[in-house]
Homo-oligomer: A and B are copies of this chain.
Amino acid sequence: MEMSPSFVVGVDVGGTKVVAGLVDSDGKVLSRERTPMVVQQGSAGGLGSLKKVIASVLAKGDASKKIEAIGVCSPGPLNPKTGVVLNPPNLPCWRNFPLAEELAQLYRVRVKVDNDANAAGLAEALWGAGRGYCNVFYFTVGTGIGTGIVIDGRIYHGRTGAAGEGGHLSIDHNGPKCGCGKRGCIEALASGPAIARRAREKLTPKSAMLELAGGNVDAVTSEIVGQAHAAGDAIAREVLAETIADLSFWLGNVIDLLEPDVMIVGGGVAAILEPWFAEIRDRLPGCSINPRCGEIPLLMAQYGEDAGIAGGAALCFQD
């Protein structure tokens, strides 16, 4: 077993920006830097964005703190064993790009690469809401739904690193079509855009949501649904109740297959879902055959905006 590093750089690559920060071995995020992600100038352009943000982190860091590893989370698909980024739809700069190897040569440290939901789930398991639990099911609800399965402090990768795509676990084979081509994926039913779609379909001319969207139906977002619900809007409540019913059914399936020790939700839409946790708990016994499913905690992720930085860093601390 390798010695655990004391300080690492966690890097979070997105389609439009890269953020990075210094993270210690307790999972504390000590700094945050960001730069635009250059995706239109080939692989060197993309790598350049990472070099730039890492340079900022190093420049602002305490010189006494030796960086012992770099962990990067990135949209998939990618190979977490080799650190090769395959062909993420929103990272056209990288096609079969050996990201871990390139960074390792540049910085002469150990480099780990994994997909964003896996990495964020690992950070929660090691240092966040999942600390102390053996089997952690993490899901992040935002523009999509990503999931990460962490077993005994290690990401469960499956055959090629493509496991943990629970957002495409379908609960309705006749349901609405998902961006992936399948029908009834929970991503197509409960992601931010799916919540907004449900709301748009129910809007009436005098709806509070329409007002919040400046009268523009297309400007209704999941945030607006959350705001309207908080203000007592009945349609927003209906939209969220339907979404929660689907999420509960999906979680029941996850429990029947995986019976995790804890379920953790992160992502931009998590705050909108949080007021419904009690409702999910009430629904679960009807959604799972597990007589003790109600004992499994459903918790908010602890790393909000820092999920990517902490996730990248966590990869360096995986046994």
- Nearest Cβ distance between residue A174 and chain B, in whole angstroms? 7
Q: Is A259 close to B, CB under 8 A?
A: yes
With beta carbons under 8 angstroms apart, the residue of B171, B180, B261, B289 that contacts A159 is: B261
With beta carbons under 8 angstroms apart, the residue of B151, B180, B261, B287 that contacts A151 is: B151
Q: Is A252 close to B, CB under 8 A?
A: yes
- Nearest Cβ distance between residue A237 and chain B, in whole angstroms? 20
Find out whether the CB atom of A165 lies under 8 angstroms from the CB atom of B256. Answer: yes
Q: Which of A147, A249, A259 has the most CB of B within 10 A?
A: A259
The residue on B at minimum CB distance from A189 is: B173
- Please classify the interface of chain A as helix (H, G, I), strand (E, B), loop, or mixed, using the class held by over half of its residues: loop
Q: Which residues of B contact A290 (CB under 8 A)?
A: 162, 165
Find out whether the CB atom of B259 lies under 8 angstroms from the CB atom of A158. Answer: yes
Q: Is A135 close to B, CB under 8 A?
A: yes
Q: Is A197 close to B, CB under 8 A?
A: no
Q: Which residues of B contact A169 (CB under 8 A)?
A: 253, 256-257
- Segment 230-289 of A: residues with Cβ below 8 Å from B: 246, 249, 252-254, 256-261, 286-289
Q: Once the chains are docked, how many angstroms separate the CA of A259 from the CA of B288? A: 22
Q: Which of A134, A162, A252 has the most CB of B within 10 A?
A: A162
Q: Is A176 close to B, CB under 8 A?
A: no
Find out whether the CB atom of A256 lies under 8 angstroms from the CB atom of B292. Answer: no
Q: Mark contacts of A121-164 with chain B using CB atoms, 8 A cut-off: 1 yes-contact digit, 0 otherwise.
A: 00000000000001100000000000101010000111111111
The residue on B at minimum CB distance from A262 is: B159
Q: Once the chains are docked, how many angstroms separate the CA of A209 from the CA of B100? A: 60
Find out whether the CB atom of B172 lies under 8 angstroms from the CB atom of A258. Answer: no
Q: Is A291 close to B, CB under 8 A?
A: yes
Q: Is A170 close to B, CB under 8 A?
A: yes
Q: Once the chains are docked, how many angstroms separate the CA of A174 from the CA of B256? A: 18
The residue on B at minimum CB distance from A183 is: B249
Q: Which residues of B contact A295 (CB under 8 A)?
A: 159
Q: Once the chains are docked, how many angstroms separate the CA of A296 from the CA of B258? A: 20
Find out whether the CB atom of B260 lies under 8 angstroms from the CB atom of A168. Answer: no
- Nearest Cβ distance between residue A202 and chain B, in whole angstroms? 19
- Nearest Cβ distance between residue A166 and chain B, in whole angstroms? 5
Q: Once the chains are docked, how many angstroms separate the CA of A292 from the CA of B160? A: 9
- Segment 70-123 of A: residues with Cβ below 8 Å from B: 77
What 17 new A-B contacts, CB under 8 Å, besides A180-B289, A182-B288? A135-B158, A151-B156, A159-B261, A159-B296, A162-B259, A164-B257, A165-B257, A165-B259, A170-B171, A171-B184, A173-B246, A173-B249, A181-B286, A182-B289, A254-B257, A257-B257, A257-B258
Can you report 21 A-B residue pairs in the complex whose CB atoms are below 8 A from each other? A77-B291, A135-B158, A149-B257, A151-B151, A159-B260, A159-B261, A159-B292, A162-B259, A163-B259, A165-B257, A165-B259, A168-B256, A170-B252, A172-B172, A172-B174, A172-B184, A181-B286, A182-B252, A182-B288, A182-B289, A254-B257
